[in-house]
Structure 1
Amino acid sequence: MLSSTMDLKRTYRIAVCIFFFIAGLTYSSWACRIHDIKTQFGLNNAGLGSVLFALPIGLMISLPVSGWMVTRFGSRRVLIAAGLLFPFMLCMIGLATHIWQLVTVLFLFGFMNNVFEIAMNTQAVGVEALYGRSVMASFHGLWSLAGFTGIAIGTLAVNLGWPVWLHFWLVAPACWLLVFFSRKYLLPEDAPAEAQPLFAKPDRQLLQLGLIAFASLITEGTMFDWSGVYFQKIVQVPESLTTVGYIAFMGTMAGGRFLADRIVTRFGIRQVLQCAGAITTTGLLLAIFFANIYTATLGFLLVGIGVSSIVPLVLALAGKSKTLPPGVAIAAVSTVGFLGFLIGPPLIGFIAEALNLQWSFALIAVFSAGIMLLASKMD
């Protein structure tokens, strides 16, 4: 009987892992062809920025809707539908021939991305409850691993001269096959919950978790968008080495997510979040005050380790809210957190223009230090 229960839990976990992989593969496939889409439409930097803004708008609008949908229809149904529609939107990006079509599809791509994220994190919270210990970070590790896979496939597609539409139409059917074979092994039901309004105000604890997610995601957004520029302008490395910091950050972030659950089980979430904030702050300060390739790379390695576990752990805690259903609580925390991812990169640019990039990174270090303070006040 015990063996049967363990096999069932493992089956649920593998199925949810597959959906995290689908999400990461789909998003990274789009991200690695942005430059080609820019060239295809003849966009300058400002034009590309305007077009790309449709994606976060779709994501933000979907946040309250996603939580309501998961509560109303169940995370399993919503996740299966999103697992089909999210890659389909990827295909539609490849087929867009006019700017208005690209903007429309990117809006829908962002919308479906977040529906997917809320539903699969709700499933992950349910699986974690079955295990009775932390397993959330490992799910997000699969998302990061899928990101590397998507970038590798995209690099191959570029080198082989595949057009964007062909690349996307090869990725999407692979995702649909994964959905088809794993859908029956998802958790059949979420924890019972009362009906909730479309817009739900987070309580103090959820707001606190949202602020921690905000501080972490503003750091992640900065690393994604500005690490190469930092190595080019501040560290002043040769052109061939500008991606070293980004690779260092992504590598330790992915690896840290596979180790985080074991560490949380041993030391507890509050202690891990405090340490994560300290490690992230230390890494940023190291890159700021000792801006050479060795210390800056070490600093970015530490930042990857620090942020790796923060968002997965915060979402896991949100899913255990006593005041809101898991889907709504996760959406509420994601709303606050994603503002950091959205605001961070342009804020860095404004400060860098007024002062310099090191001052911009210093502000991000202040946010990272705030994670330690917020985690210390957790109930």
Structure 2
Amino acid sequence: MQNTVSTPKYQSKQIRLAVTIFYFCTGLIFSSWASRIPTIKNALGISEGELGGLLLVMPIGEVVTLALVGKMVATYGSKNVFRIGILGYVFLLLAIPFATSFLTLAAILTCFGIFSNSCNIAINTQGVDVEKVYNRSIMSSFHGAWSLAGFVGALIGLVLMNFDIDILTHFIIILVIILGIFFSQQKYLFDHEPVSDEEKKGFVKPDKTLIQLGIIGFLGMATEGTMFDWSGVYFHEIVQAPEKWTTLGYAAFMITMASGRFIGDKFIERFGKRRVLQVSGILMGTGLLISVFFPTLILCTMAFMLVGLGVACTVPTVYSVAGQHKTINPGVALAMVSSISFLGFLLGPPLIGYIAELFDLRYSYALFAIFGYILAMMVTKIKLFKG
């Protein structure tokens, strides 16, 4: 039995706005940290290899606590978990400038990842609840708010760095913004009725449906992670773009991914989840293949835009379907699917690097193009995607 949403105390539009704003907040916290990575690296004298290790401890912290967070959401409700999670998340952001060594920063980032994951599972559970109230797909627009926060966070970081504002002051500004939003909006989040004692017990075995959704999410997040980490390198080494244009591919990908998430719900309503995911997989695969066979500045930019559109709706749709599972609590179901999906984000970029080291970066992109077509074929055969 799932936990059920209590009768909303506020208007559905106000609840949806609050959930959207909190998606934005989680994205703003993450992008604020990401915008300062180079500065932190230089301040602590961290090597490239050590930085790679630091960037790994955060997702590891997320993955190892996925099942625990899912159980907490089922037991205490996503509203309570999110309220604690976002406060821990933003105060740990503030703790980062106080790190004095590799080990202290690693410890902070591990906890940062755990609270990030708490926010992720809890707010996606809230997103599923909002979809139930509206009785239509709106999950992609929520994830669009997270993507938009990535741009805003990067822009804030850029502006503050140009004015020589130190990291601590930067993160205090973010803290004030988040706390102001938190205290004004948290009351609008959904309350949940208590779940049964059976749901509170230990591990719930994932069924075939959740495993399939997890694999689809894995393929989508592996591609997304690859584009995040390797787009600039691809434009530098394969496209051989001028230095000032090496970030063009990444920007093109991010713009279409964010835009696709804001308009994705409209396409899902019109064409159904199956058709949208089929097209998403084809766009991912085709975009990557174009970049492999035609590594020119213009064509690669257009190709990365296709990949961004392909990635846009994949994970939001998978999470939406997982959260509507008929027999497993939404928080637990989301945790299960996220566990498998996030492995793609974790393992995809290193896999690209290993293949590139042995052969060539284009071979890596060609392999990941196959992921998109596998995704499209899986969606075609899964009976779950009927609408």
TM-score normalized by the length of structure 1: 0.96
Q: Relative to structure 2, which stretch is displaced further, 158-167 or 14-23?
A: 158-167
Deviation at 1:95, TM superposition (A): 1.6
Match of 1:101 in 2: 104
Match of 1:77 in 2: 80
Match of 1:122 in 2: 125
Q: Deviations over 1:50-106 (max 9, x none)?
A: 222221121111211110110010001111111211111100112212222111100
Give the secondary-structure state (helix, strand or coil) at the position aligned to 1:161: coil
Alpha-carbon distance between aligned partners in 1 of 2:310 and 2:321, rounded to the nearest angstrom: 18
Q: Does 1:142 align with 2:145?
A: yes
Q: Does 1:340 align with 2:350?
A: no
Give the secondary-structure state (helix, strand or coil) at the position aligned to 1:195: helix
- The runs of 4+ residues in structure 1 deviating greater than 4 Å are 190-194
Match of 2:283 in 1: 279
- Is the CA contact 1:123–1:190 (under 8 Å) kept in the aligned structure 2? no
Structure 1 residue runs without a partner (length 5+): none
User: What is the identity, as a one-letter code, of the residue corresponding to 1:116?
Assistant: C
Match of 1:60 in 2: 63
| Aligned 1:285-300 pairs, distance under 5 A | 285-300=289-304
Q: Deviations over 1:218-263 (max 9, x none)?
A: 0001100000000000011100000000000000000000111011
User: What is the identity, as a one-letter code, of the residue corresponding to 1:364?
Assistant: F
Q: Relative to structure 2, which stretch is displaced further, 247-256 or 76-85?
A: 76-85
Give the secondary-structure state (helix, strand or coil) at the position aligned to 1:199: coil
- Is the CA contact 2:46–2:102 (under 8 Å) kept in the aligned structure 1? no
Give the secondary-structure state (helix, strand or coil) at the position aligned to 2:199: coil
Alpha-carbon distance between aligned partners in 2 of 1:368 and 1:37, rounded to the nearest angstrom: 35
User: What is the identity, as a one-letter code, of the residue corresponding to 1:77?
Assistant: N
| Aligned 1:1-379 pairs, distance under 5 A | 8-189=11-192, 194-379=198-383
Alpha-carbon distance between aligned partners in 1 of 2:128 and 2:188, rounded to the nearest angstrom: 15
User: What is the identity, as a one-letter code, of the residue corresponding to 1:246?
Assistant: Y
Structure 2 residue runs without a partner (length 5+): 1-7
Q: Relative to structure 2, which stretch is displaced further, 317-326 or 196-205?
A: 196-205
Alpha-carbon distance between aligned partners in 1 of 2:200 and 2:333, rounded to the nearest angstrom: 11
Task: Classify 1:218/1:142 alpha carbon distance in 2 versus 1 (closer, same or farther; 3 Å).
Answer: same
Alpha-carbon distance between aligned partners in 2 of 1:266 and 1:196, rounded to the nearest angstrom: 38
- Is the CA contact 1:126–1:190 (under 8 Å) kept in the aligned structure 2? no
Alpha-carbon distance between aligned partners in 2 of 1:328 and 1:7, rounded to the nearest angstrom: 26
User: What is the identity, as a one-letter code, of the residue corresponding to 1:168?
Assistant: F
Alpha-carbon distance between aligned partners in 2 of 1:270 and 1:53, rounded to the nearest angstrom: 33
Alpha-carbon distance between aligned partners in 2 of 1:149 and 1:188, rounded to the nearest angstrom: 30
Q: Deviations over 1:159-184 (max 9, x none)?
A: 11122122111111211111110011
Alpha-carbon distance between aligned partners in 1 of 2:184 and 2:85, rounded to the nearest angstrom: 15
User: What is the identity, as a one-letter code, of the residue corresponding to 2:293?
Assistant: F
Task: Classify 1:270/1:196 alpha carbon distance in 2 versus 1 (closer, same or farther; 3 Å).
Answer: farther
Match of 2:3 in 1: none
- Is the CA contact 2:86–2:116 (under 8 Å) kept in the aligned structure 1? no
What percentage of residue pairs aligned between the two structures are identical? Answer: 46
Q: Relative to structure 2, which stretch is displaced further, 193-202 or 129-138?
A: 193-202
Alpha-carbon distance between aligned partners in 2 of 1:169 and 1:99, rounded to the nearest angstrom: 22
Deviation at 1:195, TM superposition (A): 1.6
Give the secondary-structure state (helix, strand or coil) at the position aligned to 1:50: helix
Deviation at 1:199, TM superposition (A): 3.0
Q: Relative to structure 2, which stretch is displaced further, 77-86 or 341-350?
A: 77-86
Give the secondary-structure state (helix, strand or coil) at the position aligned to 2:324: coil
Alpha-carbon distance between aligned partners in 2 of 1:191 and 1:229, rounded to the nearest angstrom: 49
Alpha-carbon distance between aligned partners in 2 of 1:138 and 1:237, rounded to the nearest angstrom: 33
User: What is the identity, as a one-letter code, of the residue corresponding to 1:145?
Assistant: L
TM-score normalized by the length of structure 2: 0.94
User: What is the identity, as a one-letter code, of the residue corresponding to 2:205?
Assistant: K
User: What is the identity, as a one-letter code, of the residue corresponding to 2:245?
Assistant: L
Q: Relative to structure 2, which stretch is displaced further, 169-178 or 48-57?
A: 48-57
Q: Deviations over 1:319-367 (max 9, x none)?
A: 0112310000000000000000000111000100100000000111011
